[in-house]
Amino acid sequence: MVGGCRFAPDELDYTCPQHGELGTLDIVYDYAALRARLDRDAISGCQIANHWRYLPLLPLVPDSQLPPLSVGWTPLYRAQRLAKKLGMQRIWVKDEGLNPTGSLKDRASSVVVARALQEAIAVVATASTGNAAAALAGVGAGLEQVEVVIFVPHDAPPAKIAQPLVYGAQVFLVEGSYDDAYELCTQACAEFGWYSRNTGVNPFTTEGKKTVALEIAEQLGWRAPDVVAVSVGDGSIISGIYKGFYDLLQLGWIDKLPRLLGVQAEGSAVLADAWRAGLAPAKITRRAVSTSADSIAAELPRDRSKAIRAVRASQGAFVTVSDAQIVETIPLLGRLCGVFAEPAAAAATAGVKQALAEGIIDPDAETCIVSTGNGLKDIARARESVAAARPIPVDIDVVRARLEEIGLL
């Protein structure tokens, strides 16, 4: 899909040896052959209610063993009340928080573990701000052949540290940032010969994440919306979404690419800044970041080449939102859509509001918001976003008085 170096499927596991970390690989299919062999209506009629319904569009051997967790096929809600509130015509919300470990990362981990099973790889490791850790540990749980090793920053939200421990992974709490954990994990994989699920370098993660785009298109009746909004840290999800729509366009199953709106936190906006400045990915350098949306804190976004390409090639844009905008969006999604989002997930909706205000998207653009992770992942931020509930004595008169106070009686 882009020029440059080409390799046979089994030639490389990670990045292009000539281009290093910037040379992240795309898995390219024989689209003509797939077009001749596959039928989108057959997929629509298939009974598999998870992302394995797209197995023919994934780089896995058809009859290989698959990890047991049921990942994907999450609901796509028509969010009419939210659309009205934002002054838009049509908004869809894809609730990825309903994946088995509570985030979109399950998609990537599931395809990486399937690959590990296929290749008889015994140990898979990842660095993570928390969700990829939970996802890899959860997907690997229950599989005797696969051990999971996790590197997370010691200050990750408690739920994200508890999950991989409960799933039985080996967890290293790194005294440093996510990027420090990433470097350490990369070193450990090289030293001990483990398979790295690390975001960016492993092209199977992109292929897993692309299944969210396949689902959005299928759930809309094989059509792309005008805009897809998603929050961005390393840039791997947005790259996967681009790849999914790109594959479908090559197959002729959709007739356009949606514009991709990448949303970053103001305090962690390495990609948004690079995009605005027209900076080449090779010129992007690591810098300190700070945001309460921990899943999108990335000092050196690992999928920077693909993420910037995804936004450029789809004629999309990046926007940034403050932590205050993110936190106030959490109850908005809850109240208007029934979707409980963690801060990084709510950021996408805050970004749509921001993009409207900046005139980047039109109010009549059909927009799909990908809510990437579950609010239960970070209860502390959820509680900050709403007024606390006050305890009451067991007394009906107090209930009556309270109802009068708030005008419900």
The residues that touch ligand PLP, with contacts defined as CB under 6 A, are 103, 105, 131, 199, 231-237, 295-296, 342, 344-345, 372-373
Q: Give the nearest distance from C-beta 208 to ligand PLP in angstroms.
A: 11
Q: Give the nearest distance from C-beta 52 to ligand PLP in angstroms.
A: 21
Q: Is residue 389 exposed (0-12), middle (13-18) or buried (19+ Cβ within 10 Å)?
A: exposed
Q: Give the nearest distance from C-beta 345 to ligand PLP in angstroms.
A: 5
Of the two residues 127 and 344, which places its CB atom closer to ligand PLP in the complex? Answer: 344
Alpha-carbon span 72 to 66, nearest angstrom: 14
Strands (E) in 222-312, as ranges, are 227-231, 259-265
Of the two residues 105 and 210, which places its CB atom closer to ligand PLP in the complex? Answer: 105
Alpha-carbon span 14 to 40, nearest angstrom: 31
Q: Which residue is nearest to ligand PLP (CB)?
A: 373
Of the two residues 117 and 271, which places its CB atom closer to ligand PLP in the complex? Answer: 271
Of the two residues 106 and 247, which places its CB atom closer to ligand PLP in the complex? Answer: 106
Alpha-carbon span 110 to 106, nearest angstrom: 6
Q: Give the nearest distance from C-beta 199 to ligand PLP in angstroms.
A: 6
Of the two residues 53 and 105, which places its CB atom closer to ligand PLP in the complex? Answer: 105
Contact residues for 363 (Cβ-Cβ < 8 A; gap 6+):
86, 87, 88, 89, 356
Tokens of 404: 């009068």
Q: Give the nearest distance from C-beta 391 to ligand PLP in angstroms.
A: 32
Q: Give the nearest distance from C-beta 65 to ligand PLP in angstroms.
A: 26
Alpha-carbon span 70 to 93, nearest angstrom: 20
Of the two residues 316 and 373, which places its CB atom closer to ligand PLP in the complex? Answer: 373
Up-side HSE of residue 142: CA atoms within 13 Å toward CB?
10
CA-only gyration radius of the chain, Å: 21
